[in-house]
Structure 1
Amino acid sequence: MLTSLARRCIRAPRVVPIPQGRSLSASPATAAARAIVYSGNGNPSEVLSVLTFPDLPPPPTNTLNVQFLLSPINPADINVIEGVYPSKPKLNGNLTTSGLGSQQDPVFVGGNEGLARVSALGSGVEGLQEGDWVVMKTPQVGTWRTSANVKPGDVLKVPSADKLTPVQAATLVVNPPTAWNLLHDFVQLSEGDWVIQNGANSAVGQCVIQVAAAKGYKTINLVRNRSDLPILQQRLRELGATEVLTYDELAQDGIRDKIKSWTNGKDIKLGLNCVGGPDTTRMARFLGKDAHLVSYGAMSKAPLSLPTSLFIFKNLTSHGFWQSRWYADHSLEEQQSMLRTLTELMANGKLLAPDHEIASIRGSDSDEVASEHIRSMVEGITSGQYGKKVLLQFESDEA
């Protein structure tokens, strides 16, 4: 781990702040080759373990070796381990020659998103060089590890990487692109147009607020009531939210008149849903004629129920969106163009890195101790003990 990183110790695995700028682009001490793996689906706090494996050999033709720098732990990653997410990883039997991680006893490697540095190039690889920052675009590559051999088609080169922090780059391919595509793929919005969204304090919701503000769109943002609501409302407004409401307020008498006064009677063209259930049904009633409702999540785990009258009298169109499908359906040029746009917003301070903590896996710990640590951490994440996005980092033995 870099000696320039200031550290503060908490219950293992320790969490450290990360500095601004490309401090991770220097050549750090290389951590022993390790991965967070599981043999079958189940409770992540029970099935995850840390596995040490041999260092990677030189990359074969048309492949490259990468060293992971930071790898987020996203809610979808937990769902994948539980076996309830539609995107499925592939078993890996190439980590070791015998025992866990071998062809005889293959494992899944956790993680879908992550920032890596190109450490070696096989012959035939073009457009990349050693030291480049790359992010994973192929779903379920397995980013919770120190290093991997991947294909060029598995990665996207980070554009303008020298202008980004490691955290910005590590969280580049899921939440910001989702927000960008939600705002651009379904409705042609103009400056001053209105968008309403639920789950506004989620990672995607916060990106939606910032991208919309940068484009001149106005947003009505729905959140759950809570004890620190004024603080949350202020935080979202600082990001660029136009208005912030609770779901309870959305159900109150007179709220329709209030929203009309905000919009000057202008129809709300786009609704973004990551919650489902009655709250989304209520939100949809505030959409205008010919509006579009886009669902990209279902945090309440309740069905999406929409009144038939919205389709008949308002000509509502309802869509589903999945960022992984977008990558599969769009060309490399389109993907790189979107990332260039997003990195420009980041570089200009219009799209901030999420509030975060860095969780380090100690290089000095045995696999057994490190396994206990990762299980404890994931249990803490799923129980809400972490109020920020958590990103994994593997320490070297010398850290």
Structure 2
Amino acid sequence: MVAMRFLVGALRRAMSGPSPGRPRGLVYEKHGEPDRVLQLKDVSLPQLGASGVHVKMLAAPINPSDINMIQGMYAVLPDFPAVGGNEGVGQVVQIGSNVTSLKPGDLVIPADAGLGTWRTEAVFEEDKLLKIPPDIPLMSAATLSVNPCTAFRMLSDFVTLKPGDSIIQNAANSGAGQAVLQIAAAKGIKTINVVRDRPNLQELVDRLQSLGADHVITEEALRKPETKDLFEKIPKPLLALDAVGGKNATEMLRCLRHKGTMVTYGGMSKQPVAIPVSALIFKDVRLRGFWMTQWKKDNNKEKLSEMITELCTLIRNGQLASPACQEVPLADYQSALKASMAPYVTAKQVLRL
């Protein structure tokens, strides 16, 4: 009887948890809080097929969009059962007979969202992957396809910026914010970077300035009349980048020059953006939105590849570093989720796969 109970218990553990040496992934079968619905399980690999690419995943970050997708609060939601994660880097193990753009050993990143990157191995279609150079540092490669691309497009697609111009952005310590200020600095564009006040504020200010930030101010300071003194040193911003919404976005909007543009790409405050009528009438400001997933749908893979090439050049030149990252083994995903959802996040959690 004891032996039978032991056997039944072993079978249950084998069915509920991952098996050593088997492909594993963080799987969810319903929407909810990630720490409750995600489970580390064995995942099956489909047949390679003619256009398939077998990839060994190396590292994948935890982004806010990943959390929102699992919660069911994102514009694109996968079918169940689903594997979490939209970004990461992997290495090609094997290719199908019709695959021409990749070969074993190549490093690849997702060409689009929704692939489910929080897994040790996967078989993806060739057109869902993008080859990157082998000399890109692992953390830069793992965090390349979302935030740096978002930053690059927002700095390129909405207004014509030239050296000496300025922009203002909130959530400047986020992955996208850090990419924005570095790419802007590489182009000679001045940045005003707005962050939340916090106990280690000076440490954050020092880090952002080391990346190329010209000015770092708190949300509270942005609301004060003294902010206008900034514009005696640099011109008023032509572009505002908003990832927060609410009052913070409204205050940035007041700083824009005549016919300036504000681009909203996130809503971390979960508050609507209030637009002063005077800004519309007397300053003729433009309000736009941006979503990287939609940009990828509207543009071909060649244009995406061109952008990745430019970003990789910046990385090689030391002009675009990855955000501060904390590498966490896949088995410790619960601690990584907790850290990524804590207030005042200082490091991006990256799952080592």
**TM-score, length of structure 1 as denominator length:** 0.81
5+ residue gaps, structure 1, are: 1-29, 92-106, 362-369, 395-399
Q: Output the CA distance in 2 between the equivalents of 1:254 and 1:138.
A: 43
Number of aligned residue pairs: give it: 334
Q: Output the CA distance in 2 between the equivalents of 1:385 and 1:375.
A: 18
Tell me which residue corresponds to 1:204. Answer: 176
Tell me which residue corresponds to 2:340. Answer: 381
Q: How does 1:1-399 map to 2 (within 5 A)?
A: 31-54=21-44, 56=45, 59-91=48-80, 107-158=81-132, 160-162=133-135, 164-256=136-228, 258-263=229-234, 266-361=235-330, 370=331, 373-384=332-343, 387-394=346-353
Amino acid at match of 1:49: Q
Q: Output the CA distance in 2 between the equivalents of 1:82 and 1:66.
A: 27
Tell me which residue corresponds to 1:18. Answer: none
Q: Output the CA distance in 1 between the equivalents of 2:247 and 2:336.
A: 33
Between Structure 1 and Structure 2, the one with more helix by share is 2
Change (3 A) 1:31 1:203: farther
Residue 58 of structure 1 contacts residue 122 of structure 1 at CA under 8 Å; is this kept in 2? no
Amino acid at match of 2:321: L
Identity among equivalent positions (%) equals 39
Residue 44 of structure 1 contacts residue 379 of structure 1 at CA under 8 Å; is this kept in 2? no
Residue 198 of structure 2 contacts residue 344 of structure 2 at CA under 8 Å; is this kept in 1? no
Residue 58 of structure 1 contacts residue 120 of structure 1 at CA under 8 Å; is this kept in 2? no
Tell me which residue corresponds to 1:27. Answer: none
Residue 53 of structure 2 contacts residue 125 of structure 2 at CA under 8 Å; is this kept in 1? yes
Q: Output the CA distance in 2 between the equivalents of 1:305 and 1:114.
A: 36
Change (3 A) 1:386 1:225: closer
Q: Secondary structure at the match of 1:374?
A: helix
Residue 58 of structure 1 contacts residue 65 of structure 1 at CA under 8 Å; is this kept in 2? no
Q: Output the CA distance in 1 between the equivalents of 2:216 and 2:71.
A: 33
Amino acid at match of 2:143: T
Q: Tell me the CA shift for residue 259 of structure 1.
A: 2.0
Amino acid at match of 1:352: A
Moved over 4 A (4+): none
Q: Secondary structure at the match of 2:78?
A: coil
**In the TM superposition, what whole-angstrom CA distance separates every residue of 1:215-241 from its partner, at most 9, and x where no partner exists?**
000011111112222221111111111
Q: Tell me the CA shift for residue 64 of structure 1.
A: 1.2
**In the TM superposition, what whole-angstrom CA distance separates every residue of 1:155-184 from its partner, at most 9, and x where no partner exists?**
1111x322x111111111001011111111
Q: Tell me the CA shift for residue 118 of structure 1.
A: 0.9
- Alpha-carbon RMSD: 1.6
Residues 227-236 or 211-220, more deviating: 227-236
